[in-house]
């Protein structure tokens, strides 16, 4: 059966899968995938069933890696070739279905804490870096040896930052090296003092220093990429880095550099436009873009409270990965907000196929909370956990009697005056209700056959909004 949103069933039965080609030579398999470290992790944990999670671009190596690990450890390996949401998140749901006692995540990772405790090892891979070319590019971009600079990289190049810093330190004294913020093993003591954690990375700042003082030199990307903005990790850094501080990127293969200041300005302008769209919106769709990252339930409740306080109706949709075809079923939505990991929340933003814009939680916070942002806050937060109580960036909603709610507000898109939130004008405390819409039921089936989730659209709105 063929429909507008799916392929015919016969196509899956007639397709010839074939064997994926090995992407990495066998001689380099141990080095690229750090198999000795993975073997030590499996033995230390003492588990007999291990899940191996690969992104699509590394599935060609998955069979050889699993065979090598099974031979060395004697444990059973399960390959997770499909995830319900983004491949950068730890697929604890898939691991549980396989009965795995631990998981090894290969490829780029957002390093978000999983929703359920599970021993996890991360393997980013080790991309080759032309150190001499990158050092020359760094010197060309940073002629002042006294200027403070942070060395950043894509995850696969993180192994080379220490060696690159060794080449630069004889001349540059104020050089900071970032490292992936890997989760500590269970029972391990925390370092004292704890390094600053931001953007999924650790920054060992000296006492009295702050990250906003530093420029950035990013090693990663490729010259072949015509639109580097498609990289959500680099977009996250450009959005959150202090405006006015220099930020340059360097191709690890050729050493060619690019000043990212103009691109950072375009990204921030796009975010400001999305905030204005959210302020104009009356109906907001909250997309549950993850079930495997910690605190996703608390974040969903927080976003629903935000929309209610701002006098907007909120709709909760559980649709798996958002696609234009899926979201086209809900034309009543003015904007969508994707509740996902820091990389997943930015991934669909640049696609022009969606009929309504998709926002990150930070943009909804800026649109609905009149007390946002606090003084000195970075321009853009990418993880929804930063918005929740307990985070240093959390900003409570002002009380109903606060003058912040009555501040005149004009839309920068339509030029019209926005009225104060409806809930503030009414003494009715309102209520929350769930009303099913069976005529808009969607059936979502995972390609890996993990589960079939039949989920009607749930409308959540306040009494005052319902009467309107």
SS3 285: strand
Q: At the topology level of CATH, where does 131-267 sit? A: Rossmann fold (3.40.50)
Weakest mean pLDDT among 34-38, 281-285, 302-306, 345-349: 345-349
In terms of CATH, what superfamily is 282-418? Diphthamide synthesis DPH1/DPH2 domain 3 (3.40.50.11860)
pLDDT at 186 over 80: no
Give the per-residue pLDDT at 188. Answer: 67
Whole-number Å distance between alpha carbons of 335 and 273: 12
Give the per-residue pLDDT at 9. Answer: 52
Give the per-residue pLDDT at 430. Answer: 41
What pTM was estimated for this model as a whole? 0.79
3-state secondary structure 11-55: HHHHCCCCCCCCCCCHHHHHHHCCHHHHHHHHHHHCCCEEEEECC
> What mean pLDDT do residues 385-394 have?
88
> What mean pLDDT do residues 401-407 have?
80
Burial class (CB in 10 A: 0-12, 13-18, 19+), 281: buried
Whole-number Å distance between alpha carbons of 191 and 209: 18
Look at 422 and 242; give whichever has higher pLDDT.
242
pLDDT at 220 over 60: yes
User: What is the greatest pairwise CA distance in the chain?
Assistant: 72
pLDDT at 183 over 60: yes
CATH for the stretch 23-123: 3.40.50.11840
In the chain, domain spans: 23-123, 131-267, 282-418
SS3 457: strand
Between the alpha carbon of residue 53 and those of residues 61, 106, 155, the distances in Å are: 12, 6, 16
Give the per-residue pLDDT at 349. Answer: 57
Look at 216 and 458; give whichever has higher pLDDT.
216
Look at 447 and 380; give whichever has higher pLDDT.
380
Residue percentage of the chain with pLDDT more than 90:
39
Domains 23-123 and 131-267 belong to one CATH topology: yes
Angle at alpha carbon of residue 459, lines to 458 and 461, rounded to 5°: 145
Q: Quick one: which of 387, 317, 327, 347 has its CA closest to 88?
A: 347
Strongest mean pLDDT among 48-52, 114-118, 262-266: 48-52
């Amino acid at each position: 059966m063929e429909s507008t949103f799916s392929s015919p069933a016969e196509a899956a039965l007639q397709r010839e899968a074939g064997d994926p080609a090995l992407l990495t030579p066998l001689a380099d398999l141990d080095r690229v995938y750090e198999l000795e470290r993975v073997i030590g992790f499996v033995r230390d944990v003492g588990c007999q069933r291990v899940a191996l999670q690969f992104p699509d671009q590394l599935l060609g190596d998955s069979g050889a890696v699993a065979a090598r690990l099974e031979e060395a450890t004697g444990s059973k390996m399960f390959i997770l070739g499909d995830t319900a949401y983004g491949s950068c998140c730890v697929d604890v749901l898939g691991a549980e279905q396989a009965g795995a006692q631990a998981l090894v995540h290969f490829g780029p990772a957002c390093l978000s804490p999983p929703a359920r405790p599970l021993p996890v090892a991360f393997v980013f891979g080790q991309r080759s870096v032309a150190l001499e070319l990158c050092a020359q590019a760094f010197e060309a971009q940073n002629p002042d040896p006294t200027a403070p600079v942070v060395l950043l990289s894509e995850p696969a190049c993180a192994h080379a930052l220490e060696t690159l810093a060794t080449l630069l330190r004889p001349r540059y004294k104020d050089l900071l090296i970032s490292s992936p913020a890997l989760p500590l093993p269970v029972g391990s003591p925390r370092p004292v003092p704890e390094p600053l954690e931001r953007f999924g990375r650790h920054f060992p700042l000296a006492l009295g220093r702050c990250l906003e003082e530093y420029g950035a030199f990013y090693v990663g990307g490729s010259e072949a990429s015509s639109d580097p903005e498609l990289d959500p990790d680099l977009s996250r850094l450009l959005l959150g880095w202090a405006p006015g501080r220099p930020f340059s990127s360097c191709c690890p293969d050729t050493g060619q550099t690019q000043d990212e200041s103009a691109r950072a300005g375009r990204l921030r302008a796009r975010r400001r436009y999305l905030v204005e769209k959210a302020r104009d919106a009356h109906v907001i769709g909250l997309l549950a873009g993850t079930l495997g990252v910690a605190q996703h339930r608390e974040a969903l409740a927080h976003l629903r409270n935000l929309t209610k306080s701002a006098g907007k109706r909120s709709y909760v949709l559980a649709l798996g990965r958002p696609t234009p075809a899926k979201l086209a079923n809900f034309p009543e939505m003015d904007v969508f907000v994707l509740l996902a990991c820091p990389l997943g929340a930015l991934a669909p933003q640049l696609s022009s196929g969606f009929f309504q814009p998709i926002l990150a939680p930070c943009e909804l916070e800026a649109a609905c909370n009149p007390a946002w942002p606090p003084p000195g806050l970075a321009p853009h937060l990418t993880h929804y956990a930063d918005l929740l109580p307990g985070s240093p960036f959390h900003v409570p909603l002002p009380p109903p009697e606060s003058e912040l709610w009555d501040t005149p507000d004009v839309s920068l898109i339509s030029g019209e005056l926005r009225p104060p939130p409806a809930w503030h004008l009414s003494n009715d405390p309102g209520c929350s209700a769930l009303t099913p819409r069976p005529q808009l039921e969607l059936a979502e089936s995972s390609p890996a056959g993990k589960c079939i989730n039949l989920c009607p659209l749930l409308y959540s709105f306040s009494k005052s909004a319902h009467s309107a």
